[in-house]
Amino acid sequence: MSIIERLKDWADVVKRDVHALYLASRDPRVPWYAKALAVLVAGYALSPLDLIPDFIPILGYLDDILLIPIGILLVTRLIPPEILAEHKERARAMQAMPVSQSAAAVVVCIWALAIALCAWLSYGYFLASS
């Protein structure tokens, strides 16, 4: 197995674990402090904002490579193992589900319309103020 394949597998595991933490954060059997930390870790992992921006060479991805796995490890120790195993299985099953390309097309169309509307309104505003 090549290094690239191993990194892809590792990224899939991290993605599944972040999804499992999100699912666990909504479970009433999980303690409140574990829920709070799970939301923080999942939010940071899914957020486009980073502590160190990704365009900075090496350091940009270093926070993603270190902070997210450390956060996952910490939260998984706070959640009871049987509950975490249940949510990991749910996340694994959801990861195997097919992606809806028609839903993706709808989202892209909504974004394109929103951008076009903003451009049209901005053009009208700047034309009127000139």
C-alpha–C-alpha distance, residues 107 and 43, integer Å:
21
Q: How many CB atoms lie within 10 A of CB 25?
A: 21
The residue type at 49: L
The full set of domain ranges for the chain reads 3-97, 100-130
Determine if the pTM surpasses 0.85. Answer: no
Q: How many CB atoms lie within 10 A of CB 17?
A: 24
C-alpha–C-alpha distance, residues 8 and 65, integer Å:
13
pLDDT tens string, the chain, 130 residues long: the values are: 788 899 889 888 999 999 999 999 999 999 999 999 999 999 888 887 777 777 777 777 887 788 889 999 999 999 999 999 999 999 999 888 777 788 888 989 999 999 999 999 998 888 877 6
Please report where in the chains the tokens 């929103």 appear, as a residue: 114
